[in-house]
Amino acid sequence: MLVARDLAHCHELGNLLFKDAPNVKRYVTLPVFNAVKTGAYIPLP
């Protein structure tokens, strides 16, 4: 998960993190514009 201020910043961070990584052939970004869940808590029955 990556949080960026805008789409250009997301591309910049993705390139910084993954572009020169030898074990990453490609990566895909899926932007979310409206956060539905903002925490990591998963309720268990």
Mean local confidence (pLDDT), 14-32: 86
Mean local confidence (pLDDT), 17-33: 86
What is the Cα–Cα distance from 25 to 35, expressed in whole angstroms?
29
- Confidence at 23, pLDDT banded by 50, 70, 90: very high
Token pair recorded at residue 41: 């808590």
Residue 16 has pLDDT above 80, yes or no: yes
